[in-house]
Chains A and B, each alone.
Chain A
């Protein structure tokens, strides 16, 4: 699964930056075409849900997804599946 921010919905509040335990969302610096600075993703393949959602068949963690007031965070299927080398720091 791949983590994506829907640029047409995100208002750049950075609540996701605040809550992700892995620091995957980083405050952005550039305006997008709607004039909004959306966060940038730092190695999103580390996200628990990216790695394990398919295995467990349910949402894992998902805190960014619930707190995002604008429902701008989603996971999409990766096709064809791209294996990732994942390093998770604890």
Chain B
């Protein structure tokens, strides 16, 4: 059992579909929390709405399961009222970047001291597979039956541009690296944003010839490129394969932050 002091074992098995990556992301986040040695009564988990946002319901601390897209607004409130608390936000790509996009950029700009873990499955999982701002071009969803025709958001780059103090991206396959990144984010004062590319076999894989969980994981693994390698290739003017996304630590810096524990 991972993090037995934090996990609501009585709630298992959770509602997630077979092979959904959200469970893995909870494991990694709680692994990082254990590493931090935080106390349960000093930690709050906040989420919006979506499959990903169900995560705090499996954790023993106090939590806020808020309205769609507003997790960061509630979390900012918690942190400004009680800077002594550790605040962790679970969110999804739809929750964070569609309806909650404005809260996202401003929370990064304000650099509020919290850790935001986004389970980016490139789809609205909970509501049946509608396209989201991160649905890759060409992907089939219920709202893009002929393939998505819009460019997708790069959430991690967005957080870098908007001012977050720590930004990293991994996938639900890179469990050890992800756990380390979440812990590093928790240690950094200011807003830490960790994007996790994860699999939704039910509402993404099924429509995109990635029906098997292993196909989805292979797709994530083979399209992930370490950020150093990516930078080297682009600096040398070498081509980067289509659909590649960077993984690793994108930024760690010391901009002025709000709500830091004194």
Contacts and interface: CB of A to CB of B under 8 A. Distances in A.
Interface in A1-37: 8-9, 11-15, 17-19
B213 A14 contact: yes
Contacts of B14: 70
Nearest to A8: B13
Contacts of A69: 16, 19-24, 27
Contacts of A18: 213-214, 217
B19 A71 contact: no
A13 B213 contact: yes
Nearest to A17: B214
B18 interface: yes
Given A15-B213, A71-B7, A66 B2 contact: yes
Contacts of B28: 66
Nearest to A65: B2
B18 A71 contact: no
Contact of A67 (B13, B18, B20, B175): B175
A52 interface: no
Interface string B5-18: 00101001110111
A18 to B, nearest CB: 5
Contacts of B56: none
Contacts of B18: 11-13
A54 interface: no
Nearest to B26: A69
Contacts of B20: 69
Given A13-B18, A14-B213, A69-B22, A63 B12 contact: no
Interface string B51-94: 00000000000000000000000000000000000000000000
Contacts of B179: 66
Contacts of A60: none
A74 B4 CA distance: 12
Interface in B191-215: 213-214
Interface string A43-80: 00000000000000000000101111111001000000
B163 interface: no
Nearest to B217: A18
B2 A11 contact: no
A44 B24 CA distance: 22
A65 B17 CA distance: 18
Given A11-B18, A13-B18, A66-B176, A71 B213 contact: no
Interface of B: 1-2, 7, 9, 12-14, 16-24, 27-28, 31, 172-173, 175-176, 179, 213-214, 217
Interface of A: 8-9, 11-15, 17-19, 63, 65-71, 74
